[in-house]
């Protein structure tokens, strides 16, 4: 059995085409993720601000600047009060969205560079 002429080049071209398609898929996925995380950031930030106002965290936090001697005297109770008033769920949601946004930018730039190199 004889190997056809140009078979190796055809195989290499097919591999490069599949790599390019894979990189294009990743660019599309990270672009969609970037847009979704950008759009959801603003409602999550608004929800965090509402939760901060409802919990009274900002009022307790401002007490550290207005009456610092009392805060220093009762620092353990003050710290526990701040932690109890902290809207942890809203804060965690906002940080998760922000992390997703930043990771999407990082991955998108990486794969966009690869896509530009592969398409040349």
pLDDT digits (tens, 9 = 90+) for 90-109: 999 999 999 999 999 999 99
Name the CA dihedral angle for 21, 22, 26, 29, rounded to a multiple of 10 degrees: 70
Q: Chain-centre distance of CA 103, in angstroms?
A: 5
Give the pLDDT confidence score for residue 44 in this predicted structure.
97
The C-alpha atoms of residue 26 and residue 17 are separated, in whole angstroms, by 14
Give the pLDDT confidence score for residue 116 in this predicted structure.
82
* pTM of model > 0.85: no
The C-alpha atoms of residue 107 and residue 26 are separated, in whole angstroms, by 9
Three-state DSSP at 7 gives helix
Give the pLDDT confidence score for residue 120 in this predicted structure.
64
Give the pLDDT confidence score for residue 119 in this predicted structure.
66
Exposure class string for 36-74: b at 16+ Cβ within 10 A, else e: ebeebeeebeeebeebbeebebeebeeeeeeeeeebeee
Low-confidence ranges of the chain (pLDDT < 50): none
């Amino acid at each position: 059995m004889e190997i056809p002429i140009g078979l190796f080049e055809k195989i290499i071209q097919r591999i490069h085409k599949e790599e390019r398609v894979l990189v294009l898929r990743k660019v599309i996925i990270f672009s969609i993720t970037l847009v979704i995380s950008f759009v959801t950031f603003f409602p999550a930030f608004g929800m965090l601000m509402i939760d901060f106002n409802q919990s009274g965290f900002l009022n307790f936090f401002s007490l550290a600047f207005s009456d610092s001697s009392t805060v220093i005297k009762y620092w353990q109770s003050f710290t526990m009060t701040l932690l109890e008033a902290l809207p942890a769920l809203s804060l965690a949601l906002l940080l998760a969205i922000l992390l997703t946004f930043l990771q999407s930018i990082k991955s998108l730039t990486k794969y966009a560079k690869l896509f530009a190199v592969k398409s040349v």
